[in-house]
A and B are shown apart, each in its own frame.
Chain A
Amino acid sequence: MEHDDVIIGLEIHCQLNTKSKLFCGCSTDFRDDEPNTHTCPVCLGLPGSMPVVNKKVIEFAMRVAKALNCTVLKECDFSRKNYFYPDLNKAYQITQYDRPLAEWGKLMIEGEDGERDIRITRIHVEEDPGRSVHMGTTDRGKYTLVDYNRAGIPLIEIVTEPDLRSPKEARRFLNKLRATLEYLNVFDSEKEGSLRVDANISLKGSGRVEVKNISSYKGVEKALTFEITRQRNVIRRGQVVARETRHFVEARGVTTSSRSKEEENDYRYFPEPDLMPMQVADWVEGIILPELPDARRERFMQQYGCSLEHARTLTGGLKLAEFYEEVAKTDAGLAATWTADYLLGELNYRDFSIDAMPAEHFKELITLLKADTITDKSGVEILRTILDQVKNGEKPEMPAAIVNRLGLAKTGGDEITGMVREVIAENPQPVADYHAGKGPALNFLVGQVMKKCRGRADPGHLNALLREELDKMQGGA
């Protein structure tokens, strides 16, 4: 999907994790509640109401600006962006226009050819509009329902330069950004709708297309991949790629032409007269950043001996990194492998977050593996059992209990040696084949022992054991 001619820029909106909204004291914890229960004259846009800036929002935004190496402007202010839509109850959004909070930063990602800086054009603060639900089916029966619980939620908008070269890079950028925001403790990535992306994409020499309404990380890669293919097809047909705004339809994985007249819209920006300017550049010095993903990655490699790959994976989310550090207390190496290579896959398959696996359960699993009490295959079975129990809403069993219940303990030394000898005795032809130099016969014999012990042995161990017994025979014979 990457060619030299793909040019991608992103505009990312993230909800900041403050307790109250940007311009009023209404609670931001609205997701489980009835519509229009978290509003007041200010966020409802009632006549006569006035905004007052939540200091914590600016502090959070500045943390992000510092983490992304941006320059905070000496003085910035808010502006009105004027347009009409049911979910925008003042008919203007209070945002930042010509004097944003910060400009010109960068975020390093794993590019196609190694690590590369993606430039950040600007970071600014703005309010989220409300939420519209379009109802009705017949042409005359359609209407819109509006809930303003979300109106006034603080957003940070991060705009990149068109430095991304492929959908994969875009996804990596978003993942890195998300992890950084989590580490800064300003953002909760698990909240539905907390991150939205608009993408600008063009093929060199061709028109630029804006794709709006992307609300998942996977969606970004899908949308961009679809767009590149679509644009290449247009060019192949000898046509010109139209400069336009398109909508991403997640369910179908396609972008469609937007019927809105947004490109014609004149937003008539002017500075918000009800808010005073902000001079906050001197706060930057006092901001102490926590350990960020790259630094943590380095530390994991130093402190726990993780490989670069594992370290990258394990630092990809704050909760995941914290989980790893907890379970690494048992055995750092095993914990790394089992978290990164096994657990994550099982979680993804079930659409679970790391929260689904209790750390104590996982630690016991690692302990069992470390003591060689169970095989890897049994380990996976235990993982799946625990996660399925979580999925069914049951209290998950501890691994030792599962081992007992399902009889997963590794077959012990004498028992195994006995079975090896039985298999040798029961399979004279394969034994003879092995002695005749036919290597695959050994695999067959290993398989037979595994069948006998119902998988409760380590194949590598069996391989060695069989070889030993067979060679003894040879020697003895």
Chain B
Amino acid sequence: MSRSLNFSVSDTINAFITTIPEVSYEDGPLSGTTVAIKDNISTRGVETTCASKILKGYIPPYDAHVVTLLKEAGAAIVGKTNMDEFGMGTTTENSAFGPTLNPCDPARVPGGSSGGSAAAVAAGYCDMALGSDTGGSIRCPAAFCGIVGLKPTYGRVSRYGLIAYANSLEQIGPMAKDVTGVSRLFSVIAGHDKRDSTSVDRPYTHTPDPSIKGLKIGLPSEFFGEGVDPKVAESVRNAVNTLERAGAEAVPCSMPSMSHALAAYYVICTSEASSNLARFDGVRYGPGGDLRKSWHEEFSDRRQERFGKEVRRRIILGTFSLAAGYFGRYYQKAQTARQMVRDDFNRLFKDVDLVAGPTMPSIAFRLKEKSDPLQMYLSDILTVPANLAGVPAISVPCAKVDGMPVGLQLIGRHFEDEKVIDAAFAYEQEAA
């Protein structure tokens, strides 16, 4: 049975790029649940911009697989959320449509790149949201805005329709106020899609279970060391103590591969991005240009005008990292570093069930605080390992520091998203 609801919010924090004022929805497990969708996920008939001028006016003629699943589950899709352009950023300041503000403190960023989704949920504009996570883009804004966000095991959620930034690293994932909400949304979107050759056949049909007695949690020294705000580190240690009260056992450990993880991440994601973004030529979609110029000239000018600085910077870095005449060897070497991260996790997971630490090294930055690109990249250090290894990772809010939320990150084995969710749920229950 088809029903509809009216969606109108006073979006003072610029969470949305597009809203859908009248939404129809069907019966199903999510019937009537309001869900916002990050604007890099294709929605048929609804403008999809990736927060970029180069896709202004682009209306996909097809739905992403997850959107089809949401519609079949009865979700009410209320709008497309703001993000860092093409997923490139940690603050949602790199949007062509202005930054999103953190509902906890509008002078601060909501995190990125799924900042709009996180802020919309945190501000209560909608029940749930979809984000995408390439190097922390779901977990970071979840941590900064004080909500729950999951990056699933690579391959568990179809990427068909996700406008690619770094194909080998990213996943679409659920974001909600609590673990139960995340779990409900995950159960709708997880599962095999034959249109995505990297998709695995692992549906999610779990209900969060807080019994974690005997669960072993590893705390890598690298997650609590240099570069991490001591107050943040302390809140997260306290959160781990809470988990111990619930029956878990925490042990110290080490991940030496962390030293190369960030470099590996940025080489791989910029390389893949430089190739993925080459298709934006304004011929088949996007605003048109000047046909009187020659192909390369027009292409180049159009892209300069319509890609933001961060996007162009990453395209250039990625091109350097693949070019035979320059640093072409970096892409392969980055894969070596990547394998080292995987090996480290495999080694740790022989002794522990989960790895824990802060999601981000600090609380949300002030707007315009991080102006140096490299400084910005360094703040991803705690989130990128899970993307490099393809393992599931969740951020659950655990404390406040200087009035701003702090996220506890829990990382699990491949395909043990259920265990990760259980531990996050256990924390929520115990801390309540």
Contact = CB atoms under 8 A, between A and B. Distances in A.
A–B contact at 8 Å CB threshold (below): yes
B296 A48 contact: no
A50 B275 CA distance: 14
A46 interface: yes
Given A47-B279, A84-B299, A268 B323 contact: yes
Interface string B277-310: 0111101110000011001100100000000000
Contacts of A50: 159-160, 195-197
The size class of the interface chain B forms with chain A is 35 or more
A48 B160 contact: yes
Q: Report whether over half of chain A's contact residues are helix, strand or loop; otherwise say mixed.
A: loop
A274 interface: yes
Contacts of A41: 60-62
Given A48-B164, A50-B160, A90-B278, A270 B271 contact: yes
Contact of A45 (B48, B279, B322, B328): B279
Contacts of A84: 278, 281, 295-296, 299
Interface in A44-61: 44-53
A91 interface: yes
Nearest to B319: A268
A351 to B, nearest CB: 36
B275 A276 contact: no
Contacts of B331: 270
A205 interface: no
A268 B197 contact: no
B23 interface: no
B278 A48 contact: no
B292 A90 contact: no
Given A53-B197, A84-B295, A266-B325, A46 B160 contact: no
Interface stretch (A139-147, A160-168, A285-293, A418-426): A139-147
A274 to B, nearest CB: 5
Nearest to A139: B292
Contact of A48 (B163, B275, B295, B323): B163
B292 A89 contact: no
Given A47-B163, A274-B167, A52 B275 contact: no
Contacts of A86: 281, 283, 295
A292 B2 CA distance: 61
A71 interface: no
Given A268-B322, A268-B328, A270-B322, A47 B275 contact: no
B282 to A, nearest CB: 11
A437 interface: no
A45 B277 CA distance: 11
Nearest to A45: B279
Interface in B226-275: 271-272, 274-275
A91 B50 CA distance: 19
B64 interface: yes
A92 interface: yes
B113 interface: no
A48 B324 contact: no
A80 interface: yes
B284 A46 contact: yes
Contact of A52 (B60, B64, B164, B195): B195
A446 B333 CA distance: 88
Contacts of B281: 84, 86, 91
A463 interface: no
B275 A270 contact: yes
Interface string B15-46: 00000000000000000000000000110000
Given A46-B60, A268-B328, A274 B194 contact: no
Contacts of B164: 47-48, 274
Contacts of B323: 266, 268
Interface in B79-104: none
Given A47-B279, A90-B279, A91-B279, A274 B197 contact: yes
A459 to B, nearest CB: 67
Interface in A1-42: 41
Contact of B275 (A143, A144, A266, A268): A268
Nearest to A51: B197
A317 to B, nearest CB: 37
A50 B167 CA distance: 10
B342 to A, nearest CB: 16
Interface in B359-404: none
B296 A46 contact: no
A46 B279 CA distance: 8
Contact of B160 (A49, A140, A266): A49
A471 to B, nearest CB: 84
26 contacts: A41-B61, A41-B62, A45-B284, A46-B42, A46-B62, A47-B48, A47-B163, A47-B164, A48-B60, A49-B161, A50-B159, A52-B194, A52-B196, A84-B299, A85-B295, A86-B295, A89-B283, A90-B279, A91-B278, A91-B281, A268-B274, A268-B323, A270-B272, A270-B331, A274-B167, A274-B196
Interface of B: 41-42, 48, 50, 55, 58, 60-62, 64, 159-164, 166-168, 194-198, 271-272, 274-275, 278-281, 283-285, 291-292, 295-296, 299, 319, 322-325, 328, 331
- Enumerate the 6 nearest inter-chain pairs by beta-carbon distance, A residue then B residue, closest first: A91-B278, A268-B322, A273-B167, A273-B168, A47-B163, A48-B161
